[in-house]
Structure formats: structure tokens, C-alpha cells
Amino acid sequence: MFDPPPVSRIYQARAWTISYNVVSSYRFGRNSTNRVRRTTVADARFLLWNVEWMNDLFVSVEDDDDPAEFRPDGDKPAHSQDATVRQRRDDLSGVLDELEADVVVAVEGPNRTGELQLFFDEDVEGEWQTWVQPSKGSAQCIGVAVRVDGGGFADPPFEPFDTQDMAVFDAFLNDADDDGIDENYAFERRPLYVQVNPAEGSSFRVLGLHLKSKGIFGAYEWSKWWQIADANRRKILAQATQVRLGFLDPYMTDAQTKDVPLIVCGDINDGPGLDANEKKFFGSGIERLMGTVWRPELCLRNAIFESLPEEKRAELDFEAISTTSFQDPIFNNTWHSEWIDHVLHTGSEPWVTNASVHEEMPDGAPIWRKYPHASDHYPISVTVST
């Protein structure tokens, strides 16, 4: 158990300063039953995917202990009125079967573990064990699934740490725009935190995130629209700062965890650089998560960026990377492509490699054409070598 005393920290980068008070204890899930395994190197295919309102596929229940049940095949999911439940199930499972992952982190997953298990049991090839991080009062939770029929994982294949019991992910105060006023923030969805145990290879841990959306889904007077856009980005920055200072910095410096490989992945709802709103407070959520140049030993590597050709990396040219697309309702429904889903990892050397954003399936067919009802995000695969 890692329980440091309350501390006050200053986090600086570029031309901004954020004063931030950490007043809670931290728990990294280290107890007598959680042992980090260190053996030989093994490779696993790891998939991150925002599966878009997967909980629409299941019957709503009053009691979390009620059995999981799919909605009727012909029903229209609330957030996918152009598809049926059966079409969405078939397209989601079709993508997963073709990409042949060993570990899947599902963002916008169902609300309960039983529902994710039901989907993998009935619709996806192979035998899987799953877990969904509960998030009281919220939908679109984050889940993990590990394939166990190939002998690639130990028993148990993974060990979840319930982040409802981790104070660092409770509501918190933060001065995201450096105006001297602390504001109240919270995580809409509790992060997923698990340890994965390969049969051959070292254990590694995964922190799955889904930060605040930048989307504005209503019609507003122009100045009000900008106020909401600013507020959304401040919240993303505050959440990213909380994860960085409250979880990642302690994880990467504490003797009990600093040598345990960690993947930080999810829908961050932010890409590299600063948009018009972010320039007001010189803050990027993804860059805050990755770390500061002043503490290079605590920076995270970005597996998708490192998959670019050398000349693109040298020029910091991110144009080739897109993990989702959407129509802009303000400018004549123009399509925009954005990079907002990320796979980051600890370590000075890359052990999470071969990142691929799957805009096409293995047979070359565009994913949106072959599986049009799967998701509005592209799945991202990497090779994990521990």
C-alpha cells in the first residue's frame, strides 16, 4: 500500500503554471494476492477500441445482480437508429474476430461485467474472461477482455483493481486555466486499472481512460458555444492533470511499481498540439498525460506516433493519424478526421510496438464499408512484448 502524506505540487510547462493540491491517498492495488510475474519475453496482441454505446445492446435492469440479457435482435439501439441490435452485434464481433486480439480494452462498453461477458461468450470466437469497471451513476463504462483458450495467459489471466476504492479518482479540485481559482471536477467514468498476467512474460498493468468529450450536441448562441468549448477543454486538462500528478508520477517513482510495465490507453478526446480554445491556457490533455520535458524520466511513449515513418516523426507530422471522424454541424456537415484515441506506455525503450489504426480490415476492405454498424472509432492494435 502506498499512502503518501498530502502534498502540494507545481506543474510547469511552456508558459503556464498550475498549482495543484493532492489531499488523498493512493492505492496501486498491491496486496498479498497481486504478484507481479517476471519471466521470459512473450508477445500479445493488444486492442484498444471505443465500441460506441455498447450498453445500448443490453436490457436495462433495476438491480446490478440481475442476469445480463441482449435486447431483441430487431430493436433499434438508442444511439444507432440506422441499425438493429443484431447488426451492431454482428459488426462488432466481426471486427474482433478478424483482428484476432489477445487482450481488448473496450471504451464505451456496457455497464456491467456480465453484459460484456455475455457478448464475448455468444458473439466472439474463443473463450474470454472479462471485467467492467463500475462507475456509479454513469454509463459507457470501460471494460477489459482477455482470451484464455490459447494458453497465452496465467491463471488468473488478469487481476482488476476497483478504482472506486482509489481516492485519486474521486472528485477533485484543480485550477486548469491558472486564474487562481480552484474548480470542482470529476471523472464521468472511473478509469479501468488491471494487471495482465501472460503465461510466458512479465505481468503488465493497464490504465484505461475515457476523458471528457469535446462534443457540443446542441444549438447555442455563438458566444455560449465558445464558453462550452472552453469548459470542455478545461475539464479534459484537469482530468489529465489529475491522472498525471495523482497516479502516474507516483506510480513511476514508487519502488513497488516503477518497474512494473504500464500501458495508459483510451479515448482521451484530445490530440497533439493546441486548438483555438487550448491556446488560451496553453494546455493539451494528451501532452499533459505524456509528461513534461522537465521530467523526461517520467514521460510516456506514444505507440501510435512511433509507428509513423521517420520523416513524419522528425517533422511532427500527425496528419496521417486518425482514430475517428465526424460531421461538423456548423460548417455544412464537413467531415473531420481526428486523432483522439491513444496507446501510451512507460519505459525508456519501446515494448509496445507495431501500432496500427485499423481503417481497413486485413482483407483490405474499409472497415466502415464492411462493418458499417460497428463503431464511430477505429480499433487500434499493438504488440505487447514483456
Task: Give yes or no for residue 289 having a pLDDT over 90.
Answer: yes
Phi, psi of 123 (to 5 degrees): -115, -20
Closest to 11 (Cα-Cα) out of 224, 293, 234: 293
Mean pLDDT of 253-263: 97
Sign of the dihedral through C-alpha 293, 296, 300, 304: positive
238-255: average pLDDT: 97
pLDDT of residue 233: 85
**180 versus 167: which is more confidently predicted?**
167
- Pair type for strands 128-132 and 153-160: unpaired
Surface-to-core class of residue 272, CB atoms within 10 Å of its CB (0-12 exposed, 13-18 middle, 19+ buried)? middle
Q: Measured between alpha carbons, how far apart are the two ends of the chain, in Å?
A: 24
Q: Are 351 and 261 spatial neighbours (Cβ–Cβ below 8 Å)?
A: yes
Grid coordinates representing 223 are 458566444
CA–CA gap between residue 171 and residue 123 (Å, rounded): 37
Residues found in the chain:
386
Q: Which amino acid is at 253?
A: T
Count of other CB atoms within 10 angstroms of residue 206:
27
374 with 95: CB under 8 angstroms? Answer: yes
How far apart are the C-alpha atoms of 298 and 303, rounded to whole Å? 16
Q: What residue has cell string 500527425?
A: 318
Give the C-alpha separation, 220 to 144, whole Å. Answer: 37
Instruction: Yes or no: say if 196 and 130 are a contact pair by the CB < 8 Å rule.
Output: no
The β-bridge partners of 326 are 336
CB within 8 A of 235, min separation 6: which ones? 176, 185, 211, 212
How many CA atoms, within 13 angstroms, populate the side-chain half-sphere of residue 289? 32
Residue 229 pLDDT grade (very low, low, confident, very high; cuts 50, 70, 90): confident
Detail the DSSP E strand segments found in 68-140: 103-109, 128-132
**Backbone phi and psi for residue 80, each to the nearest 5 degrees, phi listed first:** -145, 70
Distance in angstroms (rounded) separating the CA atoms of residues 171 and 276: 28
**Cβ-based burial of 140 (10 A; exposed 0-12, middle 13-18, buried ≥19):** buried
**Domains in the chain with CATH codes:** 18-385 (3.60.10.10)
pTM of the model: 0.87
Q: Is the pLDDT of residue 203 over 60?
A: yes
How many whole angstroms separate alpha carbon 260 and alpha carbon 87? 40
pLDDT value for 24? 35
State mean pLDDT over 230-250. Answer: 93
Q: What is the mean pLDDT of residues 43-50?
A: 97
pLDDT at 5: 32
The Cα 284–Cα 207 span in angstroms is 19
